[in-house]
Structure 1
Amino acid sequence: MEKFALLGDPASAPQATNDTAALLEPAALAQLGARISDQSLVPPGPLPAPDTPAASHISVIDPYEVYVSLVSGVGAFFGSKFRSTSGIVFNNAMSAFYDPAQASTGTLNLPLSGRRPLTSVSPAILMAPKVCGQRVVTGGSDASLLTQAVIRLADPRENLTSSLEAPRLHTSPDSVQLGIEEDRPLQFSSSVLRSLEAMGHETRGEEKPYPSCNGITKNYDQLSSHSDSRGGGTAVRF
């Protein structure tokens, strides 16, 4: 996908800011949308997507309408698998950069002193345009999984709990494989899976642990919170 070639740390590569703005232009979005079809797959880009890190997520709404979404982790499980003498586990964030020897097409996401790598972690705060409309505070370690949960909130038949507990497809822009969470209580219907396979996808069982997405919604003064059962968290109010 183009974004993995164009995007990078704007503090280290200022042109990334202009590239982001260009990708969000209506004409660019229309061009990308025209490539999406119910009958075929979007061709993979020249660079792979960054690996999904292992991370924890916290969503907060306080009585004064202050919203916090925080996603934090050490990269892969147990990070770099090295720790300090005091027991602090070091992250493996360097692995989120592209290898200069392999990124021959050019990318801003190359290792450089002080540069931050691309990541799929996605804290999200969504606000309806009207006063006291729906507010959503959520987030997760995988943007594509989080998007699937958030899109369901636009369906009036869904609520926060059903949106976060619904089945998800584990995808990667550089692969036709779709990971299926086989041991979850809610599953995609066989007709949906057959349609995806007819388009050229290959389905497989997704390995655990599954990334989770927690969230809080507020509509007028009505609060709803839910901790995804894929993780080990708890929704708390006080």
Structure 2
Amino acid sequence: MNASRTLLAAIVILGLAALPAARPAFGQVPGQPEAATGFSRKPAVVASRAMVVTANPHATDAAVGVLRAGGSAVDAAIAAALVLNVVEPQSSGIGGGGFLVHHDAQKGRTSAWDGRETAPGGVDEHLFLTPQGDKMAFYDAVVGGRSVGVPGLLRMFAAVHARHGRLPWSSLFQPAIRLATDGFPVSPRLHKLIAQDRFLNRDPSARQLFFDADGRPLAEGAILRNPQLAEVLAAVAEQGADAFYAGSIARDIVVAVAADPNPGALSLEDLSGYRAVERAPLCGPYRAYRVCGMPPPSSGAATVLAMLGMLERFRLADIPPDSAFAAHLFSEAGRLAFADRDAWYGDPVAMPLAPSRLLARDYLAARAELIRLDDSLDRARPGTPAAAPAPRAVNAEQPATSHVSIVDPAGNAVSMTASIEDAFGSRRVVRGFLLNNQLTDFSFTPADERGPHPNRVGPGKRPRSSMSPTLVFDAGGKLHAVTGSPGGSQIINYVAENLVGLLDWNMPPDAVLARPHVGSRNGPTEIEDRADVRPLADGLAAFGHETVLRDLTSGLGVVVRRGREWVGAADPRREGTAAGF
């Protein structure tokens, strides 16, 4: 490092840099699934026995009610997710899928549950190519049945409830059924998202649900009732998940997917054959902690662990959290980790190597050596672990998601992220619920000159995800934190930032969530567009960063152990709340 760069780095560490703001040079930045609708600081909540954080007050209330009635963390998570389908339909629901990480405090066992959508048996790797062999434009692929994967959420709920539920299955549906029947006031966020969407009103069922008699988006405070969804939930409550995956509901899903324009290939056999999968959680060390999350087809835990593994080289506790130097190190670790994510991850049946190869300590140490203290990598290249084939690049996904973090009175925990992909999914409504567009999480192009993509489309395959439901354990093996977020591929940066704030800087959870987001997905360094942090772009210029100021709409939910108490906090950027007892 030359003398001038040494001086610049020192100045930036102290937060005193005053250089011209960097200008983006990476072209268009990948979008995010849901627009920003405001920022409202939310104080943390403290409770002695149990804690819930969800994306909406109705869902938080439902989960707390289930816990007070003697339900488990799994019971509460299911009830919350079903309510979210009613009040936050643009983000998640029974027409989509999700991932759930569970900790059984009595047995000391952690499990990971995969309810990710699968590709129909009738598709092939050319699904998102035009007749000329070019990639389809994103929304040409999204809107309509072409993008719909087999929904997995209810099968996942049934499987995990059979293992870890305490209350009757049917009782978990009652809060959502009541809300769908009686209605709820449309929130400012939901109104804004309906009004902004360009495609939702093209679907007759969506128009009936989300728009008034004059074709205008439902106003703030208008009562949204969804009796069709209430009927579906009542049927599943009484008959189990089979009521969704076979019979009249399944037939209506298949008909909706097959309808013009842009029809898809989903069949009754695809629905009846869907199975949720219990997988071994993907865990790794960070400082004195152990961090656990979802294995592939999610790339979330692996990429978060890769970032943390590289950042372990640096004494972050000695670096000011709001300095440009801290942002520089975090962004560079992100570039390297995302380069590997984009090259190597997909459905585990198609991955050319196991995640353990990419998370080996010697491999991550070598990757960390590439981080320069005084200059940005700009764009990192993927690494090649020993004996691995040449890396490939795959396209990014853009899931609309919702997250739930819960600890019950017995110390059991759930971190669950559910999704229908883009906001309002495929824009196809069936019986009051939206169908996902998760197939667009696959690579649109099946191969390039280096060979087939690990994330290429294929019958029965599960598309790569960035969802990162996460549990953290201390050195003694006790549960320390539960976290996760919506936000597309940005989820990875959101969760990694959160963990660094909690574990390196020992910040209170509400303070961590109020911090501005900064990070890179191996493109420009993205900085949350807030007046109080815009000068950070000036500081990062000293390290050669090209920056983009933009809304970064996370929805983190955090529960942290503090002595014998639990502290919960909800992201100030969305409608979420924390509550406990």
2:348 is aligned with 1:5: no
What is the match of residue 88 of structure 1?
433
Amino acid at match of 1:115: K
What is the match of residue 551 of structure 2?
207
2:402 is aligned with 1:64: no
What is the match of residue 237 of structure 1?
580
Unpaired segments ≥5 residues, structure 2: 1-338, 382-391
What is the match of residue 360 of structure 2?
25
Seen in structure 2, the aligned counterparts of structure 1 residues 32 and 199 have a Cα distance that, compared at 3 Å, is: same
Q: TM-score, normalised by structure 1?
A: 0.85
Amino acid at match of 2:549: G
CA RMSD of aligned residues (A): 2.3
Counterpart secondary structure, 2:367: helix
Amino acid at match of 1:4: D
CA contact (8 A) 2:527 2:537 kept: no
CA contact (8 A) 1:35 1:42 kept: no
Offset from partner CA, 1:84-140 (integer Å, 9 cap, x none): 2x13211111111112256443421111111111111110000102265x6100001
Counterpart secondary structure, 2:454: coil
Q: Whose radius of gyration is greater, 1 or 2?
A: 2
**In the TM superposition, what is the alpha-carbon distance from 1:52 to its structure 2 partner?**
3.8
Amino acid at match of 2:429: R
CA contact (8 A) 1:170 1:180 kept: no
What is the match of residue 530 of structure 2?
182
More strand per residue: 1
Partner Cα distance (2:341, 2:441) in 1? 15
2:499 is aligned with 1:150: yes
What is the match of residue 238 of structure 2?
none
In the alignment of these two chains, the number of paired residues is 227
Partner Cα distance (1:197, 1:48) in 2? 29
Choose the corresponding residue for 1:135, options 480, 488, 513.
480
**In the TM superposition, what is the alpha-carbon distance from 1:213 to its structure 2 partner?**
0.7
Seen in structure 2, the aligned counterparts of structure 1 residues 108 and 156 have a Cα distance that, compared at 3 Å, is: closer
CA contact (8 A) 2:569 2:578 kept: yes
Counterpart secondary structure, 2:561: strand
**In the TM superposition, what is the alpha-carbon distance from 1:197 to its structure 2 partner?**
2.1
**In the TM superposition, what is the alpha-carbon distance from 1:75 to its structure 2 partner?**
0.4
**Percent identical:** 24
Amino acid at match of 2:344: L
**In the TM superposition, what is the alpha-carbon distance from 1:27 to its structure 2 partner?**
1.9
**In the TM superposition, what is the alpha-carbon distance from 1:43 to its structure 2 partner?**
2.8
Partner Cα distance (1:31, 1:42) in 2? 18
**In the TM superposition, what is the alpha-carbon distance from 1:55 to its structure 2 partner?**
0.8
**In the TM superposition, what is the alpha-carbon distance from 1:204 to its structure 2 partner?**
2.8
Counterpart secondary structure, 2:434: coil
Partner Cα distance (2:362, 2:519) in 1? 29
Unpaired segments ≥5 residues, structure 1: none
2:456 is aligned with 1:110: yes
2:508 is aligned with 1:159: yes
CA contact (8 A) 1:227 1:234 kept: yes
What is the match of residue 472 of structure 2?
126
